[in-house]
Amino acid sequence: MRQVVLDTETTGLEVAAGHRVIEIGCIELVQRRRSGREFRTYLNPDRAIDEGARAVTGISDESLIDKPRFGEIAQEFLDFIGDAELIAHNASFDIGFLDAELQRAGFAAHSLGGRVSVIDTLALAREKYPGQRNTLDALCKRLDVDNSHRSLHGAMLDANLLVEVYLALTSGQAALGFAEEDSTAPTRANVELQLILRPLVRRANSAELVAHDARLAAIEAASKGNCVWQRS
């Protein structure tokens, strides 16, 4: 199973308002493990970045002037994605922006929304933790994923955090056959089950042993030597 964990940064929040992608970060997973293959690029959006986006990402307009435009990297990006299952947090945001970029660059036939399967970790988290905050930061805290170095948003930084969040969110799927991992490896669930099924042995104390011997003696006396345990 091949998956690509994906995140983007953009000039603003509304794709319909003409906002553009300024960073893409992708990490490949094979059988739920990092393969070591990654795809990252900054992009020249040919428009100004909103003040809010600049504050969140730390990316300035000036830093993107010499970066490629989306059309220049579109084929390389599509080749990296291939037929992988995509994983993104609030996936409709990232997919919507990327499909708009693909259409603008003349790759409309390769839109991601209708071509590959997508897992939205936000939807997974809302199902697992209804009524709770399910931002990436909140999930990192809840699932013990270290995000102490995340002072700003970044596509590659967030994709790396999302890998750990996704694996933690779906860790129980291995037992259901969704991951080809070593089934002989002990898991917390298996250990707990073994503890539940293991018979509890309680040793008699000295007083109980004395009482037990006295009871047997009384039974033997009453049976006049015909007890089963006395037969050879």
Catalytic residues: 153
23 and 158 in contact (C-beta within 8 Å)? no
21 and 10 in contact (C-beta within 8 Å)? yes
Residue type, 90: N
Which residues 6+ apart lie within 8 Å of 6 measured at CB?
24, 25, 26, 86, 87, 88, 94, 159
CA atoms in the 13 A half-sphere facing the CB of 153: 18
How many CB atoms are located within 10 Å of the residue 25 CB? 21
